Amino acid sequence: MPTQSFQPPQRTLMGPGPSDVSARVLLAMAKPTIGHLDPAFVTMMESLKGLLQYAMQTKNTLTLPISAPGSAGMEACFVNLLEPGNKVIICENGVFGGRMKENALRCGAQPIMINDDWGRAVDPNKVEAALNEHPDAKALAFVQAETSTGALSDAQELCALAQKFGVLSIVDSVTALGGTQLQVDAWGIDACYSGSQKCLSCVPGLSPVSFSECAQAVIKGRSSKVQSWFLDMNLIMSYWGTGAKRAYHHTAPINSLYALHESLLMLQAEGLENAWARHSYHHQALRAGLEAMGLRFIVPAAERLPQLNSITVPEGVDEALVRKRLLEDYQLEIGAGLGPLAGKIWRIGLMGYSANKRNVLYCLNSLESVLIDLGVPLSGGAAVKAALAEYAG
CB 114 within 8 A of CB 130: yes
Residue type at 193? Y
Query: 241: pLDDT confidence band, cut at 50, 70 and 90?
Result: confident
Q: What is the CATH number of domain 23-268?
A: 3.40.640.10
How confident is the model over 120-168, as pLDDT tens digits? 999 999 999 999 999 999 999 999 999 999 999 999 999 999 999 999 9
* Count of Cβ atoms closer than 10 Å to residue 120 Cβ: 17
- Mean pLDDT taken over the chain: 97
Give the residue from 50, 305, 349 showing the smallest Cα distance to 182.
Answer: 305
Region 311-336 average pLDDT: 98
Q: What does the domain layout of the chain look like in residue ranges?
A: 23-268, 272-392
Q: Could you give the CA distance from residue 309 to residue 145 in angstroms, rounded to a whole number?
A: 11
Q: Which residue type sits at 158?
A: L
Could you write out the three-class secondary structure of the chain? CCCCCCCCCCCEECCCCCCCCCHHHHHHHCCCCCCCCCHHHHHHHHHHHHHHHHHHCCCCCEEEEECCCHHHHHHHHHHHHCCCCCEEEEEECCHHHHHHHHHHHHCCCEEEEEECCCCCCCCHHHHHHHHHHCCCCCEEEEECEECCCCEECCHHHHHHHHHHCCCEEEEECCCCCCCCCCCHHHHCCCEEECCCCCCCCCCCCCEEEEECHHHHHHHHCCCCCCCCCCCCHHHHHHHHCCCCCCCCCCCCCHHHHHHHHHHHHHHHHHCHHHHHHHHHHHHHHHHHHHHHCCCCECCCHHHECCCEEEEECCCCCCHHHHHHHHHHHHCEECEECCHHHCCCEEEEECCHHHCCHHHHHHHHHHHHHHHHHCCCCCCCCHHHHHHHHHHHC
Question: Which letter, b or e, does each residue of 336-362 get, where b requires 16 or more Cβ atoms within 10 Å of its Cβ?
Answer: bbbeebeeebbbbbbbbbbbeeebbbb
pLDDT digits (tens, 9 = 90+) for 255-299: 999 999 999 999 999 999 999 999 999 999 999 999 999 999 999
Strands 87-92 and 139-143: parallel
Pick the CATH number of 272-392 from 3.90.1150.10, 1.10.10.10, 3.30.450.20, 3.40.50.10860: 3.90.1150.10
pLDDT at 242: 75
Per-residue pLDDT reduced to its tens digit, 59-85: 999 999 999 999 999 999 999 999 999
348: closest CA among 390, 303, 306?
306
pLDDT at 245 exceeding the cut of 80: no
Task: Report the share of the chain in percent with pLDDT over 70.
Answer: 99
pLDDT in tens, 157-198: 999 999 999 999 999 999 999 999 999 999 999 999 999 999
Q: From the CA atom positions of the chain, what is the Rg in Å?
A: 21
Q: Is the pLDDT of residue 386 over 80?
A: yes
**What is the average per-residue pLDDT within 217-242?**
94
| Amino acid 381: pLDDT | 96
